[in-house]
């Protein structure tokens, strides 16, 4: 066992110390006005977030999962509809179509960038059409681990097949592709402010982005029980999906330091690339993009090597995590929904992948210690 102090996988205390005075001031303001739900901080945050990612409309909501759900409810996605999504992602991406009665159709991912594979997506749409049981309705492109999916290809496939295109940006708010921030590539974009995401609140939170005013109005109605022009007119079945003012206040304080945090994450990722690239498989960059580096995942040769490396790092005070130990089509909750298509890349990644700590408060010494520890195990 190492006598060195363990490195935190995520250090929200160190981050809090950096923003303490702005955070206190903003929280005190909420405590003074007592408009706890959809208060002035929420409106300010929506304007700031839209400006940050260059989207026309931002509608804040209560979580990333609720953002996905509201986007799909606005499209009336339900029974008999096929929703195409990657098998290698967080559970919420598949859970939402199932909650609405639709069927997730799992698509494999690129073995080096881990993003949804457009060629396999096209093949899966053709398969579903040929089987004739489900109606192809929507694609959920997930920007996995901080990097962007192949949006030009996804937009093209969605257009050609007349499908609703939803961006699950939960892990990658702050990333860009071809010089443009993510947030306006798809028909709608959903993100999450879960505390461990690159931009995280102190509780649950999320946001929707869209270029369509009509869609933004629909999202606002759906997040407040389907309300109309007045609170007591109910136009449609909605949900309680609003954001708290306290969470908006936290997010405003964090947004002020977010660009420098993104730069710090990028610096750490570059060090990992350089120091570890010859010893393990480091993540391939999506061309002409920037990453929000929610997760930096390396690949080991096989499961035994991955488990050995993880155990050795733990003994050295270096925490790691496995995202994801199972692709979604292998989850007990979803396997019965799967049509049996082979998803070999997702299955292989689950056995070999390992996430290293990456957060803006890691010191150069921490990063060096992590690299040395990884190199000692392979």
Ligand X SMILES: *Cc1c(COP(=O)(O)O)cnc(C)c1O
Member of 171, 184, 185, 221 binding ligand X (CB under 6 A):
171
Member of 63, 221, 290, 309 binding ligand X (CB under 6 A):
63
Rounded to the nearest 5 degrees, what angle is found at the Cα of 335, between the Cα atoms of 347 and 121?
60
Judged by beta carbon, residue 173 or residue 377, the one nearer ligand X is 173
Backbone angles phi, psi at 373, to 5 degrees: -65, -40
| Sign of the Cα pseudo-torsion (118, 121, 123, 129, in order) | negative
Member of 53, 116, 142, 262 binding ligand X (CB under 6 A):
142
Helices (H), the chain: 12-33, 40-53, 64-74, 92-99, 118-131, 151-161, 213-223, 245-276, 303-315, 344-352, 364-377
Please tell me the distance from the alpha carbon of residue 328 to that of residue 101, in angstroms, as a whole number: 17
Contacting range for ligand X; rule: CB under 6 A; set: 39-47, 90-98, 158-166, 342-350 = 90-98
| Site membership for ligand X, residue 183 (CB under 6 A) | no
- Nearest approach, Cβ of 28 to ligand X (angstroms)? 26
Judged by beta carbon, residue 63 or residue 147, the one nearer ligand X is 63
In the complex, residue closest to ligand X by CB: 64
Binding mask 13-52 for ligand X (x = CB under 6 A): ----------------------------------------
| Site membership for ligand X, residue 366 (CB under 6 A) | no
User: Are 327 and 347 spatial neighbours (Cβ–Cβ below 8 Å)?
Assistant: yes
| Site membership for ligand X, residue 172 (CB under 6 A) | no
Query: Site for ligand X (CB under 6 A): how many residues?
Result: 15
DSSP string covering 50-111: HHHHT-SEEEEES-HHHHHHHHHHHTT--TTEEEEEESSS-THHHHHHHHTT-EEEEE-B-T
Please tell me the distance from the alpha carbon of residue 73 to that of residue 31, in angstroms, as a whole number: 34
Cα dihedral 326, 329, 331, 334, rounded to 10, equals: 160
Member of 75, 108, 168, 361 binding ligand X (CB under 6 A):
168
| Site membership for ligand X, residue 65 (CB under 6 A) | yes
Judged by beta carbon, residue 65 or residue 377, the one nearer ligand X is 65
- Residues near ligand X, by CB under 6 A: 63-65, 89-90, 92-93, 142, 168, 170-171, 192, 194, 204, 206
């Amino acid at each position: 066992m190492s006598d060195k102090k363990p490195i935190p996988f995520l250090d929200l205390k160190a981050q809090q110390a950096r923003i303490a005075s702005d955070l206190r001031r903003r929280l005190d303001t909420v405590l003074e006005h007592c408009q706890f739900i959809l208060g002035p901080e929420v409106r300010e945050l929506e304007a700031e977030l839209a400006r940050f990612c260059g989207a026309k409309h931002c509608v804040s909501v209560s979580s990333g999962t609720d953002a996905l759900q509201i986007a799909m409810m606005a499209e009336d996605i339900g029974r008999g509809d096929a929703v195409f999504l990657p098998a290698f992602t967080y559970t919420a991406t598949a859970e939402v179509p199932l909650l609405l009665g639709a069927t997730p159709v799992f698509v494999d991912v690129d073995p080096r960038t881990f993003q949804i594979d457009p060629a396999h997506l096209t093949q899966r749409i053709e398969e579903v059409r040929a089987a004739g049981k489900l109606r192809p309705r929507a694609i959920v492109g997930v920007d996995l681990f901080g990097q962007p999916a192949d949006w030009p290809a996804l937009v093209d496939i969605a257009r050609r097949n007349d499908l609703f295109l939803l961006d699950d940006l939960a892990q990658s708010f702050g990333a860009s592709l071809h010089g443009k921030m993510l947030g306006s590539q798809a028909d709608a974009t959903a993100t999450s402010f879960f505390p461990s995401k690159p931009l995280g609140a102190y509780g649950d939170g999320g946001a929707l982005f869209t270029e369509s005013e009509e869609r933004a109005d629909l999202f606002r109605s759906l997040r407040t029980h389907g309300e109309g022009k007045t609170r007591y007119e109910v136009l449609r079945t909605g949900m309680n999906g609003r954001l708290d003012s306290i969470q908006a206040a936290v997010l405003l304080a964090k947004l002020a330091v977010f660009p420098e945090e993104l730069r710090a994450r990028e610096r750490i990722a570059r060090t990992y690339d350089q120091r570890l690239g010859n010893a393990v498989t480091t993540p391939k960059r999506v061309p002409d993009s920037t990453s929000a580096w929610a997760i930096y995942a390396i690949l080991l040769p096989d499961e035994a090597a991955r488990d050995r490396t993880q155990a050795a790092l733990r003994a050295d005070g270096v925490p790691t995590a496995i995202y994801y130990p199972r692709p979604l089509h292998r989850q007990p909750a979803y396997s019965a929904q799967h049509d049996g298509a082979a998803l070999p890349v997702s299955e292989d990644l689950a056995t070999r992948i390992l996430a290293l700590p990456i957060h803006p408060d890691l010191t150069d010494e921490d990063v060096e210690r992590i690299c040395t520890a990884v190199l000692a195990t392979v």
